[in-house]
Amino acid sequence: MNCCYVSCERIFDPSLEAKPVIVLSNNDGCAVSLSPEAKALGITLGVPWFQLAPRAREWGLVQKSSNYELYADISRRVMEILSRHSAWIEIYSIDEAFLGLGPRATESDLVAFGRRIKDEIRRLVGVPVCVGIARTKTLAKLANKTAKKMPVFGGVCVWEGTRPEWRAQLLAGLPVSEVWGIAGRLTRRLGAMGIFSIADLAAADPVAIRDKFNVVVMRTVLELQGTPCIDFEEEKLGKEQLIFSRSFAVPITTRSAMRQVLSVYAQQGSARLEKHHQKAKILTAFAGTSFYNAHEKSFPSVLVPLPAPTSDPVVLAKAGQQLLPNLAEGVKYVRAGIMLTALSPATGQEAFEPFRFAHEDQGISSLIEDVNRRHGRGLVGLGYGGLRPGPSWQMKRDFLSPRATTHWDELAVVKAS
C-alpha cells in the first residue's frame, strides 16, 4: 500500500486528497507516514510534531494521530482481496504481502494481472497500491519500489518484462542499501569490499559472500541473480512472545498509578493469549524514565516465573504487580509494559502440572474478551484495570480521526444532496 496510514485516512475523508498530510506516532510524537505532498515540502519521517506545528497552517499541513484500529482493519480487507488471487500468500507487514503465482507466472499476461489486483483493491477498499512481480522475493521487492518511483510503469512492474539493458542501468545506479535486508552497518562492510551498487552485489560470488558474512547475505546475492532461495513463510499458529508496552501521555510518578498500568497490560496479554490459544510460563514487567531525563534514571524490571503455564488474567495481573516495590515514588516514568514468554499451546495439560488456576476453569478471561468485543474495549476489567473513566496516562491522540470500520458510534455517515 502506498503511504499506508495516510491512504487509510483519505478513504473516509476525501478532502485530504492532494493535501500535505502526516500521521503521527504514539502520543502525537513524530511523523511516521507522509503523503507525497508532505514529502514535497521537505518533511521527512521521524520529524517531531512540535517542530512542524509552527508552520503547519502556512503549509496547509494536516496532521492525524495514529488510528491503529482503522489501519489494521483496512489492512485485513486488502489481504483478504489478495488471497483471492493466490492460495499462496505471505503477509509481510501491515501494508505489504507476497503472493506465489505458480503456473500463472508463465501462462498469463503478468502486467494485466498486476493491474487487475491494483484496480480491484482501489475500487473495493479505496487505497492505492503498487505491484512488483519477479522470479524471487528480493527482485519482487525491487520491482515494487520501481513501480512506486517511476510513473511510466503505472504502478505495476514485471521485472523480467523490462529490457535487460534498462535493468542493468538501474541496478548500477542504485546504492546497495536499496536492497531488501541490507542495513546500514552491512552497507558499510560491503563498501569496504568495493560493493557500492546493487549491480556490484548481484555480480559478487555467493560463496565468497557467505564466507565473509553469512548464509543470509549469500541468499540475497542468489536472489538478485534470479535464483529463488528465500522461501514463503507460512503463518505461525501462535506467537513466540507477547509484549504490551506504550509511552505515556502523562508521566506516572506513583506506585498506585503504575498498578493500574500493569493490570491493564496483564489483561490485554491474557486476551491475546486466549486469541492464539496459548499460555505463558514467564512474565517480565518493566518500566523506564525518559532517556533524555538526565536527572532521573530508573529502568526497573522483574522476571516472574509462573507456577504453571496460564492465560489467567488474575494470575498475570498479580505477577505484574511484583514490579511495584522496585519503583521509586516521585520519579517520572514515561513507559512501562509486560512481556510474556515461554509460550505453549493451551490444549491439554502438562504431564506434571501441579494444578490449574481456579479462574481458568471459570473462563473469566474469555468472558471479559466477549464483553469487550461485543460492547467496546475498556467497558469491563478486573480490579485496577477496570477503573473508569480511562486513565490520564493512556496514549494521547489529539488528532484522531473516526475509527469508521470498527466502532459503531464512529461509523461514516452518508448524506444525500
CATH number of the domain bearing residue 44: 3.40.1170.60
CATH code assigned at 382: 3.30.1490.100
Percent of the chain's residues with pLDDT above 90? 57
Give 285-308 pLDDT, tens digit per residue: 999 998 777 788 889 999 999 988
Q: In what side-by-side order are the strands of the sheet with 333-345?
A: 242-252, 333-345, 278-289, 301-310
**Domain limit, last residue, from 48, 66, 84:** 66
Say yes or no: 75 and 62 in one domain. Answer: no
pLDDT reported for residue 117: 94
Say yes or no: 135 and 10 in one domain. Answer: no
Q: 338 in a domain, yes or no?
A: yes
Q: 207 in a domain, yes or no?
A: yes
What is the C-alpha separation between 81 and 77, in angstroms, rounded?
A: 6
Say yes or no: 76 and 30 in one domain. Answer: no
Say yes or no: 189 and 256 in one domain. Answer: no
Q: Chain-wide mean pLDDT for the chain? A: 87
Give 178-201 pLDDT, tens digit per residue: 999 888 889 999 999 999 999 999
Q: 320 in a domain, yes or no?
A: yes
Say yes or no: 78 and 186 in one domain. Answer: yes
Q: 83 in a domain, yes or no?
A: yes
Q: 401 in a domain, yes or no?
A: no
Q: Residue 43 is part of which domain span?
A: 4-66
- Total count of domains within the chain: 3
Say yes or no: 295 and 379 in one domain. Answer: yes
pLDDT over threshold 80, residue 370:
no
pLDDT reported for residue 110: 92
Q: 277 in a domain, yes or no?
A: yes
What is the C-alpha separation between 405 and 76, in angstroms, rounded?
A: 11
Q: 49 in a domain, yes or no?
A: yes
Say yes or no: 98 and 201 in one domain. Answer: yes
CATH code assigned at 116: 3.30.70.270
Say yes or no: 363 and 309 in one domain. Answer: yes
Say yes or no: 261 and 204 in one domain. Answer: no
Give 71-104 pLDDT, tens digit per residue: 999 999 999 999 888 878 898 889 999 999 877 7
Q: 415 in a domain, yes or no?
A: no
